């Protein structure tokens, strides 16, 4: 499902600005391709955002995501957020984010929420497994595992060369 919003305004120099936001949120079948066989792997979520900025009717920049906040200690120009290749003010950032939130509320379905929750749980499970594996490896190194040969040689692996 798609939704589109357009925000218009003026720059500080009086130029006309048009910001087109397109949002796609949907659920689709995930297909795996294996030696000519199409295997249905279940459902997956689609979550896309495209923002295009036009100044005086000419294309200026594009972003494939929401604007990112600028850390004030790195930017001295007073910009609040970055959108594509340009910086925007806090007021413009608020307009864009409220339009995105409005589209999210319009497009999100119970099925999407259910599938997204499952995907997030899988990602968290994978991260926990990696953390557990790293902790186990650190424990093995403390117990004398040689990082060079991955055995408990206690330094003798150099003697065999």
Query: Can you give the residue ranges of every domain in the chain?
Result: 2-108
Q: Which pTM value belongs to this model?
A: 0.75
pLDDT tens digits, 56-86: 999 999 999 999 999 877 766 778 999 998 9
The pLDDT of residue 156 is above 80: no
pLDDT tens digits, 87-135: 998 999 999 999 999 999 999 999 999 999 999 999 999 999 999 999 9
**b or e along 13-28 (b: 16 or more beta carbons within 10 Å of the residue's beta carbon)?**
eeeebebebebebebe
Q: What is the pLDDT of residue 59?
A: 96
């Amino acid at each position: 499902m798609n939704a589109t919003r357009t925000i218009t305004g003026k720059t500080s120099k009086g130029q006309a600005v048009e910001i087109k936001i397109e949002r796609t949120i949907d659920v689709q079948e995930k297909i795996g391709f294996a030696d000519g066989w199409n295997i249905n792997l279940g459902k997956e979520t689609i979550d896309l955002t495209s923002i295009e900025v036009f100044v005086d009717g000419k294309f200026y920049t594009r972003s494939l995501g929401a604007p990112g906040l600028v850390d004030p200690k790195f930017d001295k120009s007073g910009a609040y957020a970055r959108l594509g290749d340009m910086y925007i003010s806090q007021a413009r950032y608020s307009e864009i984010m409220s339009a995105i939130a409005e589209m999210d509320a319009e497009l999100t379905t119970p099925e999407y929420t259910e599938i997204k929750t499952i995907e997030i749980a899988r990602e968290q499970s994978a991260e926990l497994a990696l953390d557990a594996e790293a902790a186990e490896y650190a424990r093995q190194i403390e117990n004398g595992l040689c990082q060079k040969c991955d055995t408990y040689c206690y330094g003798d692996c150099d003697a065999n060369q």
